[in-house]
Structure formats: C-alpha cells, structure tokens
Structure 1
C-alpha cells in the first residue's frame, strides 16, 4: 500500500525551495548551452573523476559520431542528508534534471510517490527493452506498485571486509555459514587494547544493522510480519542486538559507538590505518579508500566474507544484495526520449567507466573477467582477488526483492534510534526491541489510515 506522504527531507526541501527559488531563477543555474545544443543534465553522488565525467564524455562522443549536438553534463550532490535535500529542492523547483541517481531505496520510493520520478513503462514498451534479460534478478527492484521507474546500474552486495594478512598471520579462518556470535568471538581475539586496535568496527547506521540481520533471515520484506505490521519483535532481532551490545559494552572488541559518533570516525578509514581488523557490513563503495595508496599507505591485503547469519539454527539465508546506484528520469527532463536514451546508456554499457572506482555493475552484458580486471586494476597486492571474484563478479545472483514499503520513510529513524539506545546502554536490549516493534506498528497503522 502506498503511503503517499512527504518525508521529513522533502518537507525541508519544500521550505528551502520557498527561500531559494527566486535566487535560482535569477542566477540561471549552470553555464548556458550553446545555440542549437541539447543538454542532458544528470546528478550523481559520485565525484566526477570516479566515473561520471568519463561516462559523460563517452556519451558525448557517441552523439558527435551520430552528428547530434547533444552534451551530457554531470552535477554532483553529496549523498548525505544535506545533499539529498539539495537534490530534492532542485527537483521540486522544476529545474531540468534529466536523470538522477538514488542510493537509498526507501528514499527513492518516497520520491516516486511524490511525483519526482518518471514511469518508464512507455519507454520500455516502445523500445522492447527487457528488464529481466538485461539485469537479471536485480530487475525486481525496478518496480514500485507494478510500474518500472529505475534501471539498476550497479549492484550492492553487503559483506564484511577483513585484514587477510593479519588473519593469516594468526591462523584465523572464517567458518562456513558463520554467525554474528562467530564474528564477535573473532573480533575479541583480534582486539589489542594496549595497542589501540579493535577487532571490529561497524558503520553506526542502526537502521541498516537491523536490516542486515533481518534481510539475511527473512528476505526482502524483513520489516513486516504476515499481517503487514512490524516484525521487529521477532526474537532474532533481540539476539542480534545482544551480540552488538556485548561487543560494544562488555567485550570492548569494537570501537565504542559513543566514541565513533563523537569523533565521526569512519570504519573503512580506521581499517586502512590499521586500527580495526574487520568492518562492515558494507559494499564496494569503500574500495576507493582501500586502494588509496597516497592518502592511506598500507601493505596488508583486504578480503571479504558474506554477512554473518543471525544464528547457527538459521536454515534459509538470503544474500544482502540489491541495487546500489538506482538512476531514474526526473520529473522535468528537457527531452523525455533523450533522457531515456541516456538512462539506458548510463545503466548498461556506459557504466564501465564507474567500475575502476569501486562499483560493481548491475548489467549482465559485461564479461565477469573484464569486470574483475577493471575493478581490481593494479591493486592485486591490496585486494584478495579470489574473495572479491566470488562475491562481486560471478554474474547473476538470487535476491529476495521487497514489495512492502508502508511507512518505510518513518521506520528507518525509529530503528536507528532504538538500536543506538540499546548499544549505548541507555535502555535494555529487550526494551529497545519492544519500543521498535510498538513504534513501527504505530507508524504503519497511521500510514494505512491516510
């Protein structure tokens, strides 16, 4: 069921828009197009040098070869709260944004429900474009309420990153089908408090950590029970939170969440500095840091392992996989047909320019060996080729696709708050789980009543 309500970010964007629209109209935006030139304006959260600039030039070269005066122009927004508010403000202002990329599915759904993304059905039908043939199981994420809106340009497979050199030196191996308890035990073994080294550091995104466990256990609709209400009262969530609380408050085997939040420390940065032996659960975007020899010189090898299971009794296991870059056509494209042409190019053959920057393509038209070569590049001394190849470059993957999104924009902040309160020891784990279930079910009821 669609919630059809504005998220807090979009409300902020509307307020900002009222203040800045006169300025935007007066300033005229970016450099004007040349006479007779058509512009394709696309927004991403990636630095231009990490792929978008080369992609734009490749598209522009194709246009020149066809004798068409079309120029693609990249605009970067920072993929955080402020950056997404800036993007939403531009979309709501009517500014020409032909294609933009989403990096959070809940936020993408909110934008779709507020008319900020175009339905791709007419373009797909007119061009005979086969989503499933082009993107495999990722194609399921393209749809909202039965209509396609997005082409999954990149896939994200959430994994644990670990210092293979140190693991090998100590003779530590990751068990098959490892659990979060296994993870905690290994983290404790790797911790050296005197040296200031932690075995683990997790990204402080509480909502994501509920999701990481829930999706591996329940699949795509992990938030909802059979009645469509909150599923967060299930015992597996309390089990997960207890392990995370133990690592933070009892074992002290990971950088304390309070310190991490106060210092704004990033797990992948602390990892390459040698202060952390494992981090996650994350996807390939961190590879840019892992191979940055100039800013973070190091000589150990990084390997990856699948996200742990909740417990050993877990029979089914769903991979933490889905789209990473989710481009859509904006509500005010300069030329809708041209925007569709660019969206296709961006999400298929043009995406090759993003692979060296640490992005795994969603399009099945790439040869896996070529992807591995581009992704690893000259960094085989820093990245464990075998483990990366096993998880990132193996072709299509089986994914549990979510199809329930009731109150999704409201549920994430609830999960975030209750996770942090539990791990910080402000309330008991049991109380946090009860709070999360109650508050989430209340939000779902309110959304259903609208």
Structure 2
C-alpha cells in the first residue's frame, strides 16, 4: 500500500474513533440526566436521614417534593433515634457516605456533630430568617450564637389523660398543677379500676428534674454541682412513693428490664394517664392497632416547685434539620429545607409533628394532626397545650456523660440500692469530678 493510501486509512480510522467517542460521550450525558448527579444541568440527588418511619409522613413529604422538583430528587433514609442509630448516622457523616440532610433530636447530639465539622453553619444563607419564622424558642438550638440547623417541629410534652376516667372520678382537667397533685390524681384514677394511675415514657422521665436544673442552674455560683438542690430530692422521693407506696406507677427497674410498652398500656386502658409528647398521636390515631373507646384529654407536665412563676417546662422546638457540611449539593439541600419547614412537612402532622414555622396555618396543622379521629380527643385541651400554654420552655443541653452518670445513680435509688440522700451525694460527687475535667 502506498504512503498516501496508508495516511488516508489512518485519518479515516481517527475520524471513526472520534465519532465513537462522541457517541459514548452522548450516552454518558444521557446517563447523567437520569440521575448521576454530575454537573451540566443533571439531576441532583439528595439523601435525608431521619428517625421517623417512612410510612408516618416522611415518604409522602419526599414524594411531594420529587413530583414538584424533577431536577432535585430526595431519598429518605431512616435511622432509629437511640444510641446505636445515632452512631450509625455519625459514622455515615464521618466516613463520607451519602448524607445531605439529617435530623438532630437532641442538642447534645447536635453539639457533637458541630464539633466534628459535619453540621453546616446556616449563616452562609441570607434569604431566610429562622428567628422570625420560628419564634424565640428557636434560639435554644443556637451554638455559639449560630444555627447549625433549622428547628422545624413544635414540641409538646404533656400528660395525656383518659377523659372518661377523669369524669368518673370527679376530677377536673388541670391547666397547671404540682407533682403532689398529680400523685393524688394517680391514686384516685387507679381506684377506678386501672392497673396504674400514671405511666411514663422513658424519654420525658427526667424532664421534671431538668426543669429544676435549667431554672436554678446545673452549677452553683461557686462552680460546684447544684444537683443537691432540694427539688432534686423532692423528685426522687415523689416518684419512689408512687412506685412503692401508692403502686400507681411501674417500678423503674421493671419498666426498663421488661421494656414496658407504656404507650400501649395507656391506649389499651391499663393506665389512666401517661407522661409523653406529641408523638403519642402517631399511635392514638391508629385505631386498627390501638382501638380505643375513650376520649383523650391533655394536661400540662406537673411542676416540682410550688410557685408557678418559677416553672419552666420541656418543650420548645425540635427536629432540627442540618445540612451536611461536606455535602456536594448544599444549595439544593437549603432549598429543600426551606420548603420542608414552611409547609412541605405537613404530612408529618398526622404522626404528631406540627410545623413550627409561622408560615403554616395552626388550624390546618391541627386538622392534619387529628385526621379522621378529631372526635376522639378533647380538642380544647390539646389546642391549649400546643398554642395556649405560655410557660417558658427549655431544650435539654447538658453533656451526655452527665445524663448517663445521673441516670446510673437515680436508677440505684429506684432499685432500692441506696437512699435518696446517698443518691444526691453521689450525683454531686460525680458531677463535680466531671466539671473539673471539663472546665
């Protein structure tokens, strides 16, 4: 073959090769448009981690968003809100797994993630005022005066009460009361044929203790532990009396070892009252699994202090959603977060999660909250607990080590292994040791 013919063959081969490469490039572009998430007008895929089961609202939320925003698709991943579940989330964040948004359920976990550099400072966005939209309670979630997430849910802690039992016992539904009064109610309600007058979910079990600590200070002016506040002893002795003298509430040891389903006990009519939060309605609206014939009314959490003006309750705002500081799609995540907070999360209301943004109509939220079962609730008392009670609120923000240390000591007391005085003494000693190590 001559030189000119060989050169022509090479040129033609090069042209064919370029054409094939161009075709491959076109195929890759089509693949990107179907969701690979690369640049060039491609679809963005966001992954949001939360603890609520998908069927209780989150899946409907992301489905609604995905229909409205074909270029930004969101996938919901559930983790369980316990130590193992939070470790799973933290591992995913630290190892660069797919997490663009994630929900923080405690200030303690948020603080850990901020220190780990995985929660984005939302101050880099200027088109949304969290304080104006969410109100003054939002500030409880600030760390170093910065928002590393947006609180999206209105928290509500309350005593849910079997209204029929209350009426039969001739008891008024309180709008403010003490633990001494709640103890009396529990005795009278148990006499109506209930196994227990009051049961408590483990989550809000120590809220009354923290109410005292937040109000009076975890630490005294001299820098030492304030866990010997007299109201701490009052809390211990009141609950212990209900467990062992009145038999109106389950012994804590039995509740923990048996993983007692206190929520089911209330809904099945075994217990007349339960200390719980708004998540109760996720179960109480499920008449298939939890059929009931009684109406549920709502009362405030009792206070340990006699002076109502000194009372501060657990509550405020919750479900703080952060953007992963390492996300490749921060702007898209921010757009989703604003949409979610200002009404996109409404399907979550049926599971007890009321939007905290003032962009959402309160009555609309309550209608979604109660669904088809509004007539099975005392709506007036529920609205009072959600919007009428103006008692100041707190979000627990102490270190997890202190929470665990304190629990170890009061559990010994409720198990009968040490006295109330010894329990307080040990809590103070261990807290002081922690304070020295963590100045």
The answer to whether TM tops 0.5 is yes
Aligned to 2:111: 109
Tell me if the contact between 1:360 and 1:393 (Cα under 8 Å) persists in the aligned partners: no
Q: 2:288, 2:431 → 1: CA distance? A: 45
Question: Which string of whole-angstrom CA distances, capped at 9 and with x for unpartnered residues, describes residues 331-350 of structure 1?
Answer: 32121111211222222221
CA drift of 1:101 comes to 0.3
Q: 2:393, 2:384 → 1: CA distance? A: 19
Question: Which string of whole-angstrom CA distances, capped at 9 and with x for unpartnered residues, describes residues 224-257 of structure 1?
Answer: 3334543211001101111001011111111222
Aligned to 1:42: 48
Q: 1:285, 1:404 → 2: CA distance? A: 21
Q: 2:183, 2:395 → 1: CA distance? A: 29
Mean Cα deviation higher: 334-343 or 91-100: 334-343
Aligned to 1:339: 333
1:151 aligns with 2:150: yes
Aligned to 2:83: 81
Q: 1:397, 1:104 → 2: CA distance? A: 22
2:416 to 425, 433, 447: 425
Question: Which string of whole-angstrom CA distances, capped at 9 and with x for unpartnered residues, describes residues 133-191 of structure 1?
Answer: 10001220231012211211002121111111110122112445311111111111222
Kindly tell me: are residues 210 and 262 of structure 1, through their superposed partners in 2, closer, same or farther at Cα, counting changes over 3 Å?
closer
Provide the secondary structure at the position in 2 that maps to 1:78.
coil
1:439 to 397, 406, 430: 430
2:67 to 61, 72, 79: 61
Q: How does 1:187-336 map to 2 (within 5 A)?
A: 187-192=186-191, 197-205=195-203, 208-215=204-211, 217=212, 219=214, 222-280=217-275, 282-336=276-330
Tell me if the contact between 2:169 and 2:188 (Cα under 8 Å) persists in the aligned partners: no
Provide the secondary structure at the position in 2 that maps to 1:299.
coil
Q: 2:217, 2:373 → 1: CA distance? A: 36
Provide the secondary structure at the position in 1 that maps to 2:293.
coil
Q: 1:220, 1:312 → 2: CA distance? A: 14
Question: Which string of whole-angstrom CA distances, capped at 9 and with x for unpartnered residues, describes residues 383-426 of structure 1?
Answer: 211111111145x9564556975xx1211101211221122221
- Aligned-residue CA RMSD in angstroms? 2.3
Q: 1:44, 1:166 → 2: CA distance? A: 37
Q: 1:146, 1:140 → 2: CA distance? A: 8
CA drift of 1:316 comes to 1.9
In structure 2, list runs of 5 or more residues that go unmatched: 1-33
Kindly name which structure, 1 or 2, has the bigger radius of gyration based on alpha carbons.
2
What is the TM-score of this pair, normalised by structure 1? 0.84
Kindly tell me: are residues 228 and 164 of structure 1, through their superposed partners in 2, closer, same or farther at Cα, counting changes over 3 Å?
farther
Q: 1:379, 1:292 → 2: CA distance? A: 9
CA drift of 1:218 comes to 5.5
Aligned to 1:133: 132
Aligned to 1:165: 164
Kindly tell me: are residues 387 and 222 of structure 1, through their superposed partners in 2, closer, same or farther at Cα, counting changes over 3 Å?
farther
Q: 1:309, 1:97 → 2: CA distance? A: 40
CA drift of 1:311 comes to 3.4
Q: 2:396, 2:104 → 1: CA distance? A: 18
Aligned to 1:386: 380
Tell me if the contact between 1:230 and 1:437 (Cα under 8 Å) persists in the aligned partners: yes
Kindly tell me: are residues 34 and 115 of structure 1, through their superposed partners in 2, closer, same or farther at Cα, counting changes over 3 Å?
closer
